[in-house]
Amino acid sequence: MIRHLITLIWNQRKQNGWIFAELALVLLAVFMITDAGYSKYTLYNEPLGYDISRCWRLHLEEKEPGNEGYTGEDERGAKCWERITELTQRLMNTGEVEAVGCSFYSCPYSQGNSWTNIEPIGVDSVNAYSESLHRQLGDVGFFEVFSIHDVNGKHIRELENPAKDEVILTERVAQRFFGEKEPRGQLVNTGELDGTPVLAVAPTIRENDFEPATPTFYIKVSGSTMEDLFGWYRPSSLEYSLRMKHDMTQAEMEEWLASLGERLTSGNIYVNAVTGFEEMRADRIDYVVTDWQMVQLIVAFLLLNVFFGVTGTFWMRTQARRSETGLRMAVGASKGRIVFWLNAEGLLILLLALVPIAIIVLNFRHMDLLSAEVPYTAGRWIVEFAISLGILAAMIMLGIAVPARWIMKEQPAEALHHE
């Protein structure tokens, strides 16, 4: 059957050559669109490495001299951390809060951009070179608020030494530094710490829903280090985050905080405002969503033009073969058989066009012209080519089905009249 179809296509090679060229160009365009869309969809659905549901950020401020309730002292260092620890304990005692955490420029969607060098040391490392990686710094509560666990599901609090600063690597960083070797307990040097053991390995994280994973490591800081940090930072710089036990709206959260009254004040430090991490997420990715919606409109317009072009081409091709169809009917071919042969010819031309396009796409891969946001795998190629071929196959079959249906309603003699 295929040999017969190739013979039919070759006998009409002048007309089919133009159709072949058109399908090849259109298939390449549809594949590029599919590749971009598939990459975005796959990336969006990959795990983020943290969970912001029911999470809120409390904004801390300090009373100025002359304000009511000012304690008359500049609370820095250990005193400042003591005040914040007191606030944390009060919040936990309400029974509504699941966890409270403190961090600096490290919360999801906060656009924190702290990078520092980290270097594995010792004979167990497979990478002896220092690398600059994204660093996130917080106390043990930070990991509880955002549900950041060891890859084996263990809580960081179960593994930590509260008196020490410890390093937590994400999976890809651990793989890069130590390969298949066990990273826990291995020593690393960072911009702040020397010869620090790796406490745990956490899932790879992404900064937001539309960006690929960033090489990241965490520093879990002890209480004494937090005291030192508040010698440099003011409470307004602290990312003071909490996870509630129940979902709340912005209005409900503000009403609950208002009901706590003076419990939200410790010394000169008080809670000034609250922001939901879902709102922070929306603000962070809003411009990406807007741009992607515009791209989708452009893609829809292009696909509409492709639809009319491909469908129109095969519509005219089927109409032009009206007399041939009548002859087949006259010699006893069934209507279904005729439609099958017309569809088979069109789809075979499409499959022939796939060969040069597959070669071009592979060259695009080596020229880095395709999306690199998700890994190049056989599954990715199969899905993208299947979607592209499916779209064009549907257009071809539609372009053949409608005119063929009209021709089938005619008597063979009428159809042969046009010969």
d(CA 246, CA 343): 58
Q: What is the model's pLDDT at position 406?
A: 74
The pLDDT confidence band at residue 370, using thresholds 50, 70 and 90, is: confident
Q: Report the candidate in 321, 137, 306 with the shortest Cα–Cα distance to residue 232.
A: 137
Percent of the chain topping pLDDT 70: 88
pLDDT-based confidence at residue 411 (cuts at 50, 70, 90): low
Burial of 295 (0-12, 13-18, 19+ CB in 10 A): middle
Query: CA-CA distance, 401 to 318, in Å (whole number)?
Result: 9
Q: 367 exposed, middle or buried (CB, 10 Å; 0-12, 13-18, 19+)?
A: exposed
- Taking a C-beta distance cutoff of 8 angstroms, is the pair 218, 137 a contact? yes
Q: For the ranges 135-144, 174-183, 201-210, 265-274, which has the lowest average pLDDT?
A: 174-183
- The model's confidence at residue 322, banded by pLDDT at 50, 70 and 90, is low
Q: Which of 70-74, 275-279, 351-355 has the lowest mean pLDDT?
A: 70-74
pTM over 0.85: no
Structure tokens at 158: 């179960």
pLDDT confidence bin for 331, thresholds 50/70/90: low
Joined together, the tokens standing for residue 77 give 């260092």
Residue 25 has pLDDT above 70, yes or no: yes
Of the given ranges (128-142, 243-257, 331-345), which has the lowest mean pLDDT? 331-345
pLDDT tens-digit map of 162-192: 999 999 999 999 988 888 888 998 889 998 8
| Predicted local confidence at residue 220, as pLDDT | 95
pLDDT at 101 over 70: yes
Q: Select from 254, 285, 252, 290 the least CA-distant residue to 271.
A: 254
269-278, 324-333, 366-375: which is most confident: 269-278
Whole-number mean pLDDT of the chain? 87
- Quote the CA–CA distance of 228 and 213 in Å, as a whole number: 31
Report CA-CA distances (Å) from 94 to 87, 256, 327.
Answer: 11, 10, 87
Q: Are 143 and 200 in contact (CB under 8 A)?
A: no
Confidence class for position 124, pLDDT limits 50, 70, 90: low
Residue whose C-alpha is closest to residue 235's, from 206, 269, 202: 269
Q: pLDDT: is 73 or 292 the higher one?
A: 292
Q: Which residues contact 295 (CB under 8 A, 6 or more apart)?
A: 36
Provide mean pLDDT across the span 251-262. 94
* pLDDT of amino acid 68: 75
